[in-house]
Chain A
Amino acid sequence: MSGTAVSKEPVPRRRLSINQLILTIVLFAGSFIMIIPFLWMLITSFDWAARLNITFPPKIWPEEPSIRTFEVAFTNIKMFLYIGNSTLVSAGVILISSLSALLSGYALSKLRFKGANIVLLLALSTMMIPFEMTMIPQYLLFSELGLVDNYLAFYLPAMNYAFGTFLAKAFFDQLPSSLREAAVLDGAKEFTVFSRVYLPLCTPIIATMVILLFLGVWNDMLWPLLILKSASKYTIQIGLAMFTYNNGINQQPSIIMAATTASLIPVIAVYLFLQRYIIESIALSGIKQ
């Protein structure tokens, strides 16, 4: 009866719990190793004693706790400017890429125009081309156009977001076409159908694209390295990289760690709030590819 059902359950559970405990401990130990670099970065970044060289032995608390390291970092490396620039670049790329992807995804899924399959195939096959192969002609193109050191060099290529088109098309395919047919019968213009009827339903896929694009653009270094010449235009990655590149790596530990900490704050803040969505988006992008 009910008594047997209750007594049956705890037996396997108790047997498993030792394994589960070991498992949990192993995973905790592993996660500790994973976050040691961050902890060490934070400790060093607040340690005025480590401004010229690493202190020995390693501390679990700064030798001379101070935020002066951050003051020095922010005066030597124009962090506010770079973070602002990165925000500008990311926002533009996110806007252009996701709009391009949504518009083309909508057209490919719902309009089914002549040649739609060719367009999709062409776009998807270009995803195979490594950026490293096209970067030199792209750089020369922008230098011919006089757009080196100009954020248009980020915004214009953002139109080519084939993976986003693929994601958006797959998403629109799941939405019923009858919505469009009904709206068209009511005399709605095509763009109105797109923006008023379908776009409000697209928040999940927009969120995915924004997350993937933000992480990609915010952390990118190679293209900014080629395009950005003047220090006032630097994005955060290139600003940080150029500072260490020019001063030599392994110099001024606490200053560099303070700057690195500051550069990570936006990404980690976004991660803390959207952690679940970010992980889902990455998993989705991995599986879809």
Chain B
Amino acid sequence: MSSTPEGKGSAVHGGLPKRKFRFTRNDWMGYLFSAPLIIGVLVFAIYPMFAALFMSFHQTSGLNLTGTWVGLNNYKYALGDTIFWQALSNTFLMGLWSVVLGIAFSFILASLINNLKWNLGRNFFKAVYFLPNVVSGVATTLLFSFLFFPSKEGLINFVIGLFGIEPIGWFTNPQVAPYSIVLMSLWGALGYNTIIFLAGLQSVPRDLYEAAEVDGAGTYRKWLYITIPYLRPIFVFMLIMGTIGGMKRFTDVWLIGGTAGNPGGSLMTVVLYIYRNAFLASQMGLATAVSYLLFLIILILTVCLMLLNRRKDSLD
């Protein structure tokens, strides 16, 4: 609390107007230490963002950055392309089901684990349910490609066969394939959501429950009227993260259906559409235009979900 650090502090913060643009040694040090971050952000985030915007207005052939200016033609082409709309609707379909089922199942699971009084068991279940989360998308897809084997040899088809159901072409029937992807991603992502929910459940103040108990509320009503409202920010966070993740689906659909999004284009997603146009057809302009559309869609969805949360808050 001596006068030295204080005097130093005012110089550092530019308290005196005259010194505003004079960099002290401390400032230089700050920029030196932050240099890797600043260079990284500028070169690998800011620059590519503007380069993508620039490219989206150009018709490119081959791998050169400079093409011919075509204005909004790439956007127009994408918005008039039935494959783009198919990709978008597939992505929405799979994303929606993954998010809704993922949140519902993981919240129930987290509530169950949280109610378990057996400490060792709680940690054990956390670890087991979380395990698929460290498994890569490639390994998950390979595992499920055999679990979901289209003929009676597949494990899932064998199990449903015991109940007299005919084998289902999980990844080969265009009607079923998107839902199989949803089931697969549910297995992979369940643990992550559960862990976040568990952390949230432990943060609910005890006295809220105690007060409700005094009023005669049972377990179920405490869950419905205290836990769920209290965890709303976490639900919104999950919705946002799940939506963003769902909109970026690529690895699993690419590995199962290739760049055509087979079976029958039912697994064509937006990122697959971008990848296919950029790296197979060398249509970098079109691909970057679609990537901007994807960014806009994600942004709009995120903002909508945030607003949804705020409106509900003000109603309460």
**Main SS class of interface, A:** helix
Roughly how many angstroms separate A139 CA and B258 CA in the complex, as a whole number? Answer: 21
Size bracket of the B interface:
35 or more
Q: How many CB-defined contacts (below 8 Å) exist between A and B?
A: 293
Q: Which of A231-289 contact B (CB under 8 A)?
A: 237, 240-241, 244-245, 249-250, 253, 256-257, 260, 263-264, 267-268, 270-271, 275-276, 278-279, 282-283, 286-287, 289
Q: Which residues of A come within 8 Å of B, CB atoms?
A: 16, 20, 23-24, 26-27, 30-31, 34-38, 40-41, 44, 53-58, 96, 99-101, 103-104, 106-108, 111-116, 119, 122-123, 126, 128-141, 143-144, 156-162, 165, 181, 190, 194, 215, 218-219, 221-222, 226, 237, 240-241, 244-245, 249-250, 253, 256-257, 260, 263-264, 267-268, 270-271, 275-276, 278-279, 282-283, 286-287, 289
Which of B5, B130, B299 contacts A279 (CB under 8 A)? B130
Residue B144 lies at the interface, judged by CB distance under 8 Å to chain A: yes
- B142 at the A interface (CB under 8 A): yes
Q: What residues on B are CB-neighbors of A136 within 8 Å? A: 48, 52, 55, 274, 278, 284, 287-288, 291
CA distance A289 to B116 in the complex (A): 28
Cα separation A24 to B112 with both chains bound (whole Å): 9
Asked if B258 and A282 make an inter-chain contact with CB atoms under 8 angstroms apart, the answer reads no
**Chain B residue nearest in CB terms to A31:** B128
Residue of B32, B45, B147, B284 most packed against chain A (CB within 10 A): B45
A287: chain B residues within 8 A (beta carbon)? 196, 199
Decide yes or no whether B18 CB sits under 8 A from chain A.
no
For this complex, 7 residue pairs linking A to B, each with C-beta atoms less than 8 Å apart, are A23-B115, A107-B30, A137-B49, A218-B136, A241-B138, A241-B251, A260-B143
Beta-carbon contact of A103 and B37 below 8 Å? yes
Does B23 sit within 8 A of A, measured CB to CB?
A: yes
- Determine which of B27, B112, B146, B274 lies in contact with A113 in the assembled complex, contact meaning CB atoms within 8 Å: B27
- Asked if A37 contacts B143 (CB within 8 A), the reply is yes
Contact A159 B113 (CB under 8 A): no
A237 and B136 in contact (CB under 8 A), knowing A104-B34, A119-B34? yes
Binds A, one of B69-77, B150-158, B208-216: B150-158
Contact A27 B121 (CB under 8 A): yes
Q: CA–CA, A157 to B46, complex, Å?
A: 12
Contact B48 A134, beta carbon cutoff 8 Å: yes
- Chain A residue nearest in CB terms to B124: A31
Is the Cβ of A286 less than 8 Å from the Cβ of B199? yes
Shortest beta-carbon distance from A279 to chain B in Å: 6
How far in angstroms is the closest Cβ of chain B from A71? Answer: 19
| A219, B137: Cβ atoms closer than 8 Å | yes
Contact B118 A24 (CB under 8 A): yes
Please state if B52 and A54 are interface contacts (CB–CB under 8 Å): no
* B 130-169 to A, binary, CB cutoff 8 A, 1 in contact else 0: 1111111111001111110110111100100000000000
